[in-house]
Amino acid sequence: MEANILKAFVNIAALKSFEIGELYSGKNRMNNLGVALEYFVKDMLCSTIDISDLDEKDRAHAKLLSYLGNQNNPPDFIVKNGDAFEVKKIMNQASAIALNSSYPKSKLHSDDSRILESCRGCDGGNWATKDIVYAVGSVSKSKIKTLWFVYGDCYAASREVYERTFKAISKKVREIDHLEFATETNEIAGVRKVDPLGITYLRIRGMWGIDAPQKVFGSLTEPQKGKDFSASLLMLEK
């Protein structure tokens, strides 16, 4: 048995309800709809929607996923010897997606300083790049209305594009000569010893965002009027 995106669509087609509030009702950790959406995507990929006990569900996911994610670092999870996934919940199809301190990724690179060692070491640590899929669900009143799976190389520019902008801004900030800057940071800059006692520091972070897939690629799909739910997948022919 393996997890993949085609199985996800087979499992989605068999579903009768997309009320994630109902699917995961009574599960304490599911009070956050973003967490519930991430479980839903994992369940679709891993064919585990019928497992109700969360501990049992987690064990089933662990057999098919090589990395189970971290709240503060991308990606959310990685399929064994397969794609990385970032799951994003939006309130409506036109909403922008907050990516926080991580810029959009066309691929996941193992030398990215923003990923954890446990991520870098998954699948035996035997990889330099992985395809990354953005799974973006618009959720209204706990019901998924649309779900987009978009491969990063259809959605984002190469990392050099974002790094160039990031480094240019960081360089300009560091030209302020009366401040003491931290030497190493994944953020735009860190200012040390702001106050006379030298005990206050300032973190200068970039907060990235990107337009939702429906706004960018909606013209490629059929009109969804009168439909309760739609799922779309966008990838390169190769």
Q: What pLDDT is stored for residue 28 in this prediction?
A: 57
Q: Tens digits of per-residue pLDDT, 165-223?
A: 999 999 999 999 889 998 888 899 999 999 999 999 999 999 999 999 999 998 988 77
Question: What are the residues whose beta carbons fall under 8 Å from the beta carbon of 139, sequence distance 6 or more?
Answer: 20, 33, 37, 89, 90, 91, 145
User: Whole-angstrom Cα distance, residue 11 to residue 5?
Assistant: 10
- pLDDT confidence of 94, banded at 50, 70, 90? confident
Map out the domains of the chain as residue ranges.
5-157+208-234
Which amino acid belongs to residue 143? Answer: K
Per-residue pLDDT reduced to its tens digit, 130-146: 999 999 999 988 899 99
Q: How confident is the model at residue 30 (pLDDT cuts 50, 70, 90)?
A: low
Long-range pairs for 12-15 at CB < 8 Å and ≥24 separation? Answer: 12/44, 12/147, 12/231, 15/49
Closest CA to 65 of 8, 23, 20: 8
Q: Are 57 and 39 in contact (CB under 8 A)?
A: yes
Per-residue pLDDT at 81:
95
Give the predicted TM-score (pTM) of the model: 0.92
How large a percentage of the chain has pLDDT more than 70? 96
Alpha-carbon separation of residue 189 from 1, 12, 103, 161 (angstroms): 46, 44, 16, 19
Query: Looking at residue 24, what is its pLDDT?
Result: 78
Residue 61 has pLDDT above 80, yes or no: yes
CA nearest neighbour of 75 among 90, 65, 62:
65
Question: Hunting for tokens 């670092």 — which residue is that?
Answer: 73
